[in-house]
Structure 1
Amino acid sequence: MRQKLAELRGPAVPHPLDARALAALAANPGCRRRALLDGAGVDKGALASALGSPAAYGQSQFAFARGHAFEARVKADGGLELMRLLGVGEGGTAGEVRVPELAAAGPEGRVARTALALREATAAGAWTLLDHPLLALEVAGSPAYLEPDAVVVDPDGRWTVVEIKSFPVLDGAADPAKVGAAARQAAVYVLALERVAALTEGAEVGRSVLLVCPRDFTNQPAGSVVDVRKQVSVTRRQLDRLTRIEDIAAALPDGVSFDVEGRSARELTAAVEAVPHAYAPECLAACELAFHCRARARAAGAVEALGRSVRGELGGLATVDAVLAAARGDAPADGVDDADPAVVALRRARALRTEALAEAAARTAAGREAAACR
């Protein structure tokens, strides 16, 4: 299987599958295109540029540098500030917090070293800060290596995920959309930690994570506890539903490749179109290929371009042309009859619109007549 994915990717270095990508996959499990490209390690940003639809998705270099500087401040002095945000109090001094070395050769070595550090910290019963541990999680038959900002082990054996973000907390509240995205990302880390905890006596993975952000317009850290039980449940269910990557790859025609350097734009377009996608407007904030998929969906007149809620309401009417035809009273699309609730609602809406326009036109004509009489 790895050989097949390497052939699809080409000679490029595999692009890592991280927690942010997994959270986006879980939010749109029906997109086989993203599942395959992420599983094969294809750089979707480079692919989007080669297709002529470069992505606006991602952080600027300034935001990236600011985030790194803020994270370094939070973890300074052996994690003293981080312990304070966790509510450890005066007992959580830098000298009492263990910070084990997690360096090892290769991702497999780092994963094993992280698991060992977690077991040792749990057995020792002391506050321990794991700085950028590496966790593994199998997704659709392909391994993903995940690197949370930090994991804290308390003396009772509870493991807490720490997410450090650079978006601000203004007047005690942060952007709900950004907090939600951070919670979904943290849920992926919780799932990966649960695999290690299942093999560690006395360990328990917390279903609440610590979200650390700058307070107001300063660089002062502010911490808040976020309950991710719902996100963990949803993410687990959605990741389990993902079609296995080898099944998607087996359905591709021979010769398909996403090698950006060795293929023309036409060949890459054909390769991408060979994999079904499930575009939704939410993809614009989470996927580098979103602009390409949106253009294709609009060109095909697919109702998915209008949003998942609209798509769900329209049932078997899959294109805008089919929707308009049903509203006009023409023959519905194949597999849809006149009694279909979507067809009935569309025709009722069109009748109400026609009636409203007629009444508005009558009022306008009456007003003009009255003005002429004066």
Structure 2
Amino acid sequence: MNHNARTLVGMTANPGCGRRTLLDACGADKDAIATQAGFAWPFGQSPFAISRGKSFEASITEHGGAKLLTLLRDLLDLPLPEVAYKPVDEVGGNAQRELRYQQTCKLLLEAARGGDWPGTLFDHPMLRLTVGGVQVYLEPDVIAFKVKDLFYVVEIKSFPVIDRQADPDQVAAAIRQASVYVIALREMLAAHGLDPAMVASSVILVTPKGFSNSPVATLTDARKQIAMLVRQLRRADNVSDLLNEVPDDTTFDLRPNELGVATRAAADLVNHLLRIEARYRPACTQHCEMAALCRDEAVRGDSLDLYGTGVSDVFNGVDSASTARALAAGTRLPSLDQQDVARTLRRAQRLLNELGGVA
């Protein structure tokens, strides 16, 4: 399965979406499915952002992670005269994932059982995580730092921190990605009879200071994000309830021909996708390949989900904008669970009418 930290984070960004949960649980290629359905959505980082990120990361990790070590010493107040550096991006020139995973396991378990070792940097370990009952590889985008009896996950990002402030959405996404690695490391330790609490619940973010390449490190509590991810991963492991609500003949097979070209009719594929309940949110456009399809569905259904949870949560019991307008105008009788919202809407409509009259 082709999961990485970004795709797993996407699973948790909208945990109420059955469509995303089911597609992720079966390891479906959402990008290919969305494209064949006629709802391709540009997703992922721009080439410039990827290039900047790689350049910044390389500047931090070169020379055995010397620059990173300086940051960690200051951040964690560690008197480390010497630190071991263990690159795991390949094994004897071989970058095969299973081989790298086995080497990562060997090194991390040795460190975990080694007691109060000197600090050790593990550069780009290959990890695995159980998703939907299947073990998937995580593409390496992390450094595990072990000091004393704790492992810390270090996430290097290229977005700037200006006056100690960074874009909150980017920070939140980075913490969630680092949390994926915390869970994977804990799963590895637990599988070998070691205490998963050896992996710290605080993660270290390394970002540029201002618009320069001068780095700054921040220790951030990720307990909330870790707990959220664990809950969502458990949900992915228990998709039987979702499957029970889906017709037995539902399939996302793109029916490739002998040349590997998808032949599935777009209308038929969309029909099968719409059998699964979605929960569209504006933020879906930032992390899900199915966003265009789900947004189109929400538009056609006049759904309040288009306006985000801040609106849909306020209008509890009201599922469409047309219903909200009718309740505000008094042309629709509210149901029992809509009465409080209807009173608020009518009051707001009166105020709006009065303001319009003054204008």
TM over 0.5: yes
Partner residue of 1:20?
Answer: 6
Partner residue of 2:151?
Answer: 159
Partner residue of 1:337?
Answer: 336
- Aligned match for 2:177, one of 176, 185, 205: 185
CA change 1:202–1:50 in 2 (3 A) is: closer
Partner residue of 1:145?
Answer: 137
Q: Percent identity?
A: 36
Equivalences for residues 178-257 of structure 1 within 5 A:
178-198=170-190, 199-200=193-194, 204-242=198-236, 244-249=238-243, 251-254=246-249, 256-257=251-252
CA change 1:239–1:203 in 2 (3 A) is: closer
Letter in 2 for 1:254: D
Q: Specify the SS of the correspondent of 2:216.
A: strand
**Which segment drifts farther, 182-191 or 107-116?**
107-116
Superposition CA RMSD, Å:
2.7
d(CA) in 1 for partners of 2:288 and 2:195? 39
Would you say 1:319 and 2:314 are equivalent positions? Answer: no
Partner residue of 1:275?
Answer: 276
CA change 1:255–1:241 in 2 (3 A) is: closer
How many residues were matched structurally? 341
- Aligned match for 2:73, one of 87, 98, 101: 87
d(CA) in 2 for partners of 1:134 and 1:204? 18
Would you say 1:47 and 2:41 are equivalent positions? Answer: no
Alpha-carbon distance, 1:162 to partner: 0.8
Alpha-carbon distance, 1:176 to partner: 2.0
CA change 1:159–1:322 in 2 (3 A) is: same
Equivalences for residues 97-176 of structure 1 within 5 A:
97-99=84-86, 101=88, 103=91, 107-124=97-114, 125-146=117-138, 147-154=140-147, 156-176=148-168
CA deviations over 1:24-80 (Å, ceiling 9, x no partner): 211211111112222333332333333333323311222212222222221111222
Letter in 2 for 1:18: N
Partner residue of 1:368?
Answer: none
Gaps of 5+ in 2: 257-261
Partner residue of 2:57?
Answer: 71
CA deviations over 1:131-154 (Å, ceiling 9, x no partner): 221222223434343234111111
Letter in 2 for 1:45: D
Partner residue of 2:354?
Answer: 355
CA change 1:346–1:263 in 2 (3 A) is: same
Contact 1:79 1:97 in 2 (8 A): no
Partner residue of 2:259?
Answer: none
Letter in 2 for 1:129: L
CA change 1:73–1:288 in 2 (3 A) is: same
Gaps of 5+ in 1: 1-13, 361-374
d(CA) in 2 for partners of 1:32 and 1:52? 21
CA deviations over 1:87-144 (Å, ceiling 9, x no partner): 1778455xx4141646488655544432331120123313222222122222343434
Letter in 2 for 1:213: T
TM-score (norm 1): 0.81
Q: Specify the SS of the correspondent of 1:127.
A: strand
Letter in 1 for 2:251: V
Alpha-carbon distance, 1:161 to partner: 0.3
Would you say 1:30 and 2:16 are equivalent positions? Answer: yes
CA change 1:129–1:184 in 2 (3 A) is: same
Letter in 2 for 1:328: A
Higher Rg of the two aligned structures: 1
Contact 2:87 2:125 in 1 (8 A): no
CA deviations over 1:257-298 (Å, ceiling 9, x no partner): 242713122222122212211101111111122122112101
Q: Specify the SS of the correspondent of 1:292.
A: helix
CA deviations over 1:186-244 (Å, ceiling 9, x no partner): 11221222223333269611122121122323333322222212222333334434572
Letter in 1 for 2:144: V
